Structure 1
Amino acid sequence: MEFLVFFFGGIILFFIFLYFIPVNLWITAMFSGVSVGLFDLVFMRIRKVPPSLIVQSLITSTKAGLNISAAELETHYLAGGHVQSVIKALISADKANINLSFKQAAAIDLAGRDVFEAVQISVNPRVINTPNVAAVAQDGIQLVTKARVTVRVNIAQLVGGAGEETILARVGEGIVTSIGSSQSHKEVLENPDKISKLVLHKGLDAGTAYEILSIDIADIDVGANIGAKLQIDQANADLKVAEAKAEERRAMAVAMEQEMKAKTQEARSRVIEAEAEVPKALAEAFRSGNLGIMDYYRMQNMQADTQMRESIANGGSDSPSPSPKQ
């Protein structure tokens, strides 16, 4: 019974020994030409770094001719990086004659970018399709343009550089500027390559993680006549302004007419009021002896003569019309 206990206890201790002291990995590394100490592997296990990952990455990089130490890989793993992705990116960059150091690759990986994909795009450029870009030429015709932008990764500016959204925004801005500076939309339709040449020479890839290789106009469609619409809208606006001013003048004329009517009524009321004072003045003149009966009759005759003269001057409308002949 005691023999079995010691036997199984020895087996357990053996596996624990192999777990903390990965002799098989050390042997594999030695035969692969990788210089790594046995105690280094033990310390990796203590620091919770998988020794198999570090050893396999060292073997791969050494066979590819890269000079990378185990400490660099362990440090990158502890920083939260993807060791295998970095090794694959370095091997691809070395085969493609792209200058990429381990420090740069680690920085790109820790920045959250896929460093291996970045190297692949640097080797095989990517084509980015822009959305429909609407611009208006100087003759008022709208053109809807769609372009294809060929880019490749700029390794030196991959960390901190702007992404694809900035490239698309700058290309769209360049297309709008190019079409807007054209005298006629026919010029753009005849020579669409002028747009790509003008936009390409603006240096739109400055400060971005990509290098623009070419800008090709894929499609141009004629849109609406924006100039005519703007003129119609301006004419409608001018018409409404003129109508408003005419209505204002009419309202002012109506108000002035009402004011004149009010003044006329006021003047008439004053005349009536003054005429109402005439009998009082005559009565007072009679009482005071300033006016006699004969004077009053003469005044009445003068008024009658005045009315007759006015009637004659008006065409005799007040005189009796002659009777028709039988």
Structure 2
Amino acid sequence: MEKTPIVRKQYWLSISLILFAICTFMGHAYSVELLNVSYDPTREFYKTYNQTFIEYWQQQTGETLTIKNSHGGSGKQARSVIDGLQADVVTLALASDIDALNRYRTNILPEWQSRLPNNSAPYNSTIVFLVRKGNPKQIHDWSDLIKDDIEVITPNPKTSGGARWNFLAAWAYARSTYGNDEQARTFVTKLYQHVPVLDTGARGATISFVQRGLGDVLIAWENEAYLALKEQGGDQLEIIMPSLSILAEPTVALVDKVVDSKGTRKQAQAYLEYLYSEPAQHIIAQHFYRPVNPNILKQYAKQFPEIKLVTINDYFGGWQKVQKAFFSDGAIFDEIYAEIN
């Protein structure tokens, strides 16, 4: 029996709706969302990196990714994940914040740091000073930070990973200069007497110094200092490299519990692995982090002057010892803070 025009029209309309539904379903099936929980000064870098990785992943797999970021002080971010924030990956300021994710339950595998090259640190940085243009207070090294008329801006080591690197860089300078930990403690205590406010994260400290005009010097991540310089056009601020600083190694990891629950392990693993690729290492350098690829680092040698650096493992015995001795509840930083307040 021949179909009438109306029946044929309904038939093809039905077929179109079915095909639309199938395409819609397939579109949703191949769209995956990742959450990267990171620390304060990585906002600009990961905004660029995410777009590059999304395009790469689309070309490789045909899959559409949506990548969301959460930023804040590294310690606070770790606490958020511990409290249930569903991070597929964490890209935090230091290894001890990632170790802390297993404080109450197993969120990541204990051997997480060996799963990626360079102990899961795809970029590094160091700690420098940012001062007003012309360096009116003549700040050249750590010893200048404890002069009577100097106000120092640095965030709170209890909430900020960058602040812990700042604290340890100051301690390393003092111990190297004065010869022992007792003198180092005295120096660091004097330094914190010059700190008028402790922001919760590195970006907050930068805002206090740059936008609010607080302080004479900001102790900062190298990348954060360069970014501030770039945004201010170089006519208000300048960077001072101290005689000694610390090799700051931010680390990255899968949150195994989350990726296995969401089924995003493949995408999240690739997201972290791609950080070591040549395109990503160039993006890292362009956002003022130091690439771990030595060939790419050489291409940006003028941007990253040589500076004497100590390492957390060689100078302090690793993050496990450091966290317990300096930053756990009732440890050295708490004692210093109680003493000056």
TM-score range, shorter chain: under 0.3
Structure with larger RCO (C-alpha < 8 A, sep 6+): 2
Larger Rg: 1
Q: Scaled by the length of structure 2, what TM-score is found?
A: 0.19
Q: Structure 1 or 2: larger helix share?
A: 1
